[in-house]
Amino acid sequence: AQSVTQLDSQVPVFEEAPVELRCNYSSSVSVYLFWYVQYPNQGLQLLLKYLSGSTLVESINGFEAEFNKSQTSFHLRKPSVHISDTAEYFCAVSPLYNQGGKLIFGQGTELSVKP
Amino acid sequence: GAGVSQSPSNKVTEKGKDVELRCDPISGHTALYWYRQRLGQGLEFLIYFQGNSAPDKSGLPSDRFSAERTGESVSTLTIQRTQQEDSAVYLCASSLEGAGGTQYFGPGTRLLVL
């Protein structure tokens, strides 16, 4: 079985400040890792994912996440946030084999960027 | 192109009634997933369809919940004898591939059981 823990339910930051949203997971099998984002009044959409290769993955809007196998973590970071980054962020894992790609989600972190 | 659509967007029902929720996936997507998001909680996996394979029903919380999919098109999630704890947003997602594939989510159906 897999589980995902997002350590912060709410993260308030000022515009242009750096931010880190923490995600730890537990799994007895290898997993793919994802961050999904839900902007206000919009549907859930993929932000970035780690499948294999380089452990550092980036999104098109400046977020990055690093897969750390020894610490079973996949923290999301951005060096300078914008008001438009205000959203709820969900970390998720998916077993590599035999489970069809179902996602196991954390409880979400609400990022609130203030001017 | 069109994304994943779900209907109805909102549904209010009385305890004990049956409800049916519909999902139209992106055309050509062979994988279809249902999730549930209860207030203040993360998304819970319910059921997964992949082509003509037997669905993975491991996430369905009780036998009151069932789902069907016709080929690689529309899916319906049915909740019989609804209970107040069934109140949640029900999300559907589709994908071109299974494990590792990007899932594209619909806007959800917000279900309220009175």
Out of A2-11, A46-55, B9-18, B102-111, pick the least confident. Answer: A46-55
- Amino acid in position A34: F
pLDDT of B97 over the 90 cut? no
Tens-digit pLDDT profile for residues A10-52: 999 999 999 999 999 999 888 999 999 999 988 899 999 998 8
Max Cα distance, chain A (Å): 46
CB within 8 Å of B62: residues ≥ 6 apart = none
Residues of chain B contacting residue A43, judged by C-beta atoms under 8 Å apart:
3-4, 105-108
Cβ atoms of A46 and A39 closer than 8 Å: no
pLDDT level of residue B109 (50, 70, 90 thresholds): very high
B51 contacts in chain A (CB < 8 Å): none
Predicted confidence band of residue B1 (pLDDT cuts 50, 70, 90) = low
Place of tokens 């992106």: B26
The per-residue pLDDT for B70 is: 84
Q: Which residues, 6 or more positions from B10, have their beta carbon under 8 angstroms from its beta carbon?
A: B109, B110, B112
- Interface touch B43/A103, C-beta < 8 Å: yes
